[in-house]
Amino acid sequence: MLTPNIDLKNKTVLVTGAAGFIGSNLVMELLRTVQSIKIVGLDNMNDYYDVSIKDYRLGEIDKLAAEHPDCSWTFVKGNLADRALIDRLFEEYSFAVVVNLAAQAGVRYSITNPDVYIESNIIGFYNILEACRNHPVEHLVYASSSSVYGTNKKIPYSTDDKVDNPVSLYAATKKSNELMAHSYSKLYNIPSTGLRFFTVYGPAGRPDMAYFGFTNKLRKGQTIEIFNFGNCKRDFTYVDDIVTGVKHVMQNAPEKQNGEDGLPLPPYRVYNIGNNNPENLLDFVTILQEELIRAEVLPADYDFEAHKKLVPMQPGDVPITYADTSALERDFGFKPSTSLRDGLRRFAEWYKQFYRV
């Protein structure tokens, strides 16, 4: 077990992608649990998916911030690729910890809209690294993705595995982030930790994710397509488990130390955060439909078979994701544990309330 070397109390933290799914949940967890923390959230509020969900998340943060007057919460609407803005924020706030969760997400979208991935995931991340170089921080934590494992055959996926076979531009940008962070850690002694997230889901999540998209389609009486004829497995990870993992990591910066040549060894780590329990997509759909009926989002007599279609694999997709989380357990004594049924139940209950079903 690692001994935490960063006390977040009274610290100023930057969370990019703060109106996003993971970012908003992280901000709320920090407000709830860390005394006198100062959080600056950055998000460009783009319309890749329904902006009203981002507005809802920000509203939930504002409510929580009002309940914790010892903490401070500042939201900045702006673009990660805006170098002048990023430099100004780092100058103004002198961040102790930076958590970069802003990114253009989605594997399939990267096939049709590559430009936004280069702007946000490459140029945006470069701006963060440059700012951390010019305004030194105690720890840079950034989102990578399970998609970096690409066509790797060995499972479960370990952070010790080679990741040189990305099957989408999205995956390639995330692998690039890890390489860029490594080089900046080496050159400028910036403690950095990359987190490979595995299929994150939960209430107020991303509508482009399968569980949310399926729910929207089923409510409209449309047909849902299950890829690879249902023979895909995904390591679904509930958002609260992801946030707990991020919070553990934030407080444990890799130690700065020199090698035998007297030069800094890169203070750099990468972890998987996943459920360590891949679920078959057909089983996942069955649980989802049971929970949607239980929450009265769909009627008890809904004919699911008439609205399901098994289709071939999509470009950029992989048949299985499966996280080896042993390093997370070893260093933090933590392992994601929310069951798929519990997580989908919370999503279904939130969905009913949000859309006033």
> Which residues have a catalytic role annotated?
170
Could you give the angle at the alpha carbon of 159 between the alpha carbons of 154 and 163, nearest 5°? Answer: 65
Answer yes or no: are the C-beta atoms of 230 and 314 closer than 8 Å: no
Structure tokens at 308: 């399901």
Secondary structure class of 73 (helix, strand, coil): strand
Largest Cα–Cα distance of the chain, in whole Å? Answer: 70
CA atoms of 115 and 125, how far apart (whole Å): 15
**Do you find a cis peptide bond into 156, omega within 30 degrees of 0?**
yes
Report the candidate in 314, 309, 304, 233 with the shortest Cα–Cα distance to residue 274: 233
DSSP result, 152-178: --SSSB-TTS-----SSHHHHHHHHHH
Output DSSP code: residue 35. Answer: T
CA atoms of 61 and 71, how far apart (whole Å): 12
CA atoms of 254 and 239, how far apart (whole Å): 24
